[in-house]
């Protein structure tokens, strides 16, 4: 009897030990599985978070050079908010910046700077690129790298429609004119000196300033590019556009001076290649259509 009881006790104890051991292994396995699942979830969440975060493309422009770019109070027509401002930027340059940012997977940030601050901002890395109606000149190419042209802008004049030079057919007919243009442009540095006996006034800080000088009769003539002139005659109906392109007496400029490009920091080939890949999908007709859209919605045209 004692042997039977003892055997029974041994059997019960053995079963209990086996059960306890089994529970421990199952617990360990379960804990390990939960730990693995948690790590997998964390990794997945991190990956998803990383993929959701877009790189920011900081694009500088004046936000005051219609129809290339301007400032407005709201986001109408697809305008983009200006960094550190309650205002928005729009125009041809913003349209192009949006197209590039979307194609390359960037979040777009518009940075408003004065004209003379644009190149230094790219050089210092404060911004990634400048899309601001800049000509691809040899001088600028010494400081920054440029994309392929994103617009081709011929040089023209603007005068009062009832002024002394309204019937000019070529540069020679502008002799003796009091004239000005925007600071740091081929219009001022290259074109105005071609006018015989010109009274060249100090350069204006911005395109709007040169137009105000003409509109207020402080100057007889401003030289600019075609998009700026087209926008100006919409905003100021009393101005007349002088286009000598088809004459034998036009302003003499090199091709580089009428090719408008996007500037990046020297050596930033990754961004430059990306920008060029987007531009390569567009034609001059595409550029012109986009520019006409910009001119049609510029603030003063409505």
pLDDT digit string, tens, across residues 79-128: 999 999 999 999 999 999 999 999 999 999 999 999 999 999 999 999 99
Peptide bond preceding 67: is omega within 30 degrees of 0, i.e. cis?
yes
CA distance 65 to 13: 91
Burial of residue 34 (number of CB atoms within 10 Å: 0-12, 13-18, 19+): exposed
Q: Judge residue 276's burial from the number of C-beta atoms within 10 Å of its C-beta, 0-12 exposed, 13-18 middle, 19 or more buried.
A: middle
pLDDT at 256: 78
Question: What pTM does this model have?
Answer: 0.74
Beta-ladder partners of 57: 108
User: Which pLDDT score is estimated for 299?
Assistant: 82
- DSSP letter for 216, please: T
CA–CA separation, 196 and 210 (whole Å)? 21
pLDDT, tens digit, for every residue of 43-65? 444 444 444 577 999 999 999 98
CA atoms of 166 and 158, how far apart (whole Å): 9
Query: Helix (H, G, I), strand (E, B), or coil: what is residue 130?
Result: strand
The per-residue pLDDT for 300 is 65
User: How far apart are the C-alpha atoms of 229 and 222, rounded to whole Å?
Assistant: 9
Mean pLDDT in order along the chain per 10 residues (302 residues): 38 40 44 47 44 84 94 97 97 98 98 96 98 92 97 95 97 98 93 98 93 96 95 94 95 88 98 98 97 90 48
Which has the closest alpha carbon to 168: 60, 63, 249?
249
């Amino acid at each position: 009897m004692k042997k039977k009881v003892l055997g029974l006790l041994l059997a019960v104890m053995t079963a209990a030990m086996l059960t306890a051991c089994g529970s421990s292994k199952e617990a360990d396995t379960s804990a390990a599985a939960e730990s693995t699942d948690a790590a997998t979830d964390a990794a997945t969440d991190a990956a998803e978070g990383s993929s959701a975060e877009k790189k920011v493309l900081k694009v500088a422009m004046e936000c005051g050079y219609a129809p290339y770019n301007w400032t407005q109070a709201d986001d109408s027509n697809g305008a983009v908010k200006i960094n550190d401002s309650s205002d928005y930027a729009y125009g041809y340059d913003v349209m192009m910046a949006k197209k590039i940012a979307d194609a390359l997977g960037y979040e777009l940030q518009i940075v408003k700077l004065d004209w003379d601050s644009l190149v230094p901002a790219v050089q210092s890395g404060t911004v990634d690129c400048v899309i601001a109606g800049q000509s691809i000149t040899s001088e600028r190419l010494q400081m920054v790298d440029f994309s392929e042209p994103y617009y081709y802008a011929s040089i023209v004049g603007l005068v009062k429609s009832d002024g002394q030079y309204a019937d000019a057919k070529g540069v020679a007919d502008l002799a003796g004119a009091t004239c000005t243009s925007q600071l740091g442009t081929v219009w001022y540095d290259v074109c105005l000196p071609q006018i015989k006996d010109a009274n060249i006034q100090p350069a204006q800080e911005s395109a709007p300033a040169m137009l105000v000088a003409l509109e207020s009769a402080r100057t007889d003539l401003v030289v600019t590019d075609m998009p700026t002139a087209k926008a100006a005659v919409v905003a100021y109906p009393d101005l007349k556009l002088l286009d000598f392109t088809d004459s034998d007496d036009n302003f003499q400029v090199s091709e580089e001076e009428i090719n408008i490009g996007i500037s990046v920091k020297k050596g930033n080939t990754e961004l430059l290649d990306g920008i060029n890949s987007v531009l390569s999908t567009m034609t001059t007709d595409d550029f012109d259509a986009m520019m006409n859209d910009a001119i049609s919605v510029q603030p003063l045209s409505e």
